[in-house]
């Protein structure tokens, strides 16, 4: 076990983003650190696979075509999914920040994404999940 409180090589992270470049870069970043990654191009695609997709954390774009990331998060919560969800956006606003916080996101990351920030939040969320504790949300600012 490393300093993050869990074995990264046993972690599975889901990435949902309609941008191929974002999905691919996140997959490469996470796999470089031995984290398994499942990728989906839409909220609908992920929801259709969801109880079959075992994961430790979901990284979810807010501005998806069709079902928005916030709507996906709300549907997951209503279905009893309590694993950490990190929302991502390239179009930040106060309204988006408030909506993400109210929906129960662990964090709201701004694009372009920062690798160190991603690992900091993932480590905290996954370690807490595996310890069966609710992770403390990131400060939304």
Residue 140 lies in a domain: no
Q: Which domain holds residue 92?
A: 8-130
**Residue 127: what pLDDT?**
87
Closest by CA position to 105, among listed 67, 77, 66 = 77
| 88 against 1, higher pLDDT | 88
Residue 138 lies in a domain: no
Looking at the structure of the chain, the number of domains it has is 1
Residue 66 lies in a domain: yes
Q: Confidence class of residue 6 from pLDDT cuts 50, 70 and 90?
A: low
Residue 116 lies in a domain: yes
Residue 136 lies in a domain: no
Task: Specify the DSSP element, H or E, that contains 22.
Answer: helix 20-32
Residue 141 lies in a domain: no
The C-alpha torsion from 69 through 138 and 30 to 56, rounded to 10°, is -70
**Residue 136: what pLDDT?**
66
Rounded Cα gap, residues 13 and 30, in angstroms: 8
62: CATH = 3.40.50.2300
- Name the average pLDDT for the chain: 89
Residue 2 lies in a domain: no
Residue 98 lies in a domain: yes
- Mean pLDDT of all residues in 76-98: 92
State percent of the chain over pLDDT 90. 72
CB 57 within 8 A of CB 13: yes
Instruction: Judge whether residue 3 has pLDDT over 70.
Output: no
- Mean pLDDT of all residues in 4-27: 89
Rounded Cα gap, residues 1 and 9, in angstroms: 10
DSSP-derived secondary structure for 76-101: HHHTT--S-EEEEESS--HHHHHHHH
- Mean pLDDT of all residues in 63-76: 95
Instruction: Judge whether residue 129 has pLDDT over 90.
Output: no
**Residue 43: what pLDDT?**
96
pLDDT, one tens digit per residue, over 23-69 is 999 999 999 999 999 999 999 999 998 766 678 999 999 999 999 99
């Amino acid at each position: 076990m490393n300093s993050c409180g869990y074995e990264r090589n046993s972690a599975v992270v889901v990435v949902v983003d309609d941008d191929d470049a974002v999905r691919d870069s996140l997959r490469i970043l996470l796999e470089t650190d031995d984290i398994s990654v499942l990728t989906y191009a839409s909220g609908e695609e992920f929801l259709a696979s969801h109880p079959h997709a075992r994961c430790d954390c979901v990284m979810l774009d807010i501005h998806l075509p069709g079902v928005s990331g916030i709507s996906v998060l709300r549907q997951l919560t209503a279905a009893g999914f309590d694993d950490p969800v990190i929302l991502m956006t390239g179009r930040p606003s106060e309204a988006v920040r408030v909506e993400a916080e109210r929906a129960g996101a662990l964090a709201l990351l701004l694009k372009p994404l920062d690798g160190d920030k991603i690992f900091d939040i993932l480590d905290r969320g996954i370690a807490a999940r595996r310890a069966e504790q609710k992770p403390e949300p990131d400060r939304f600012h």
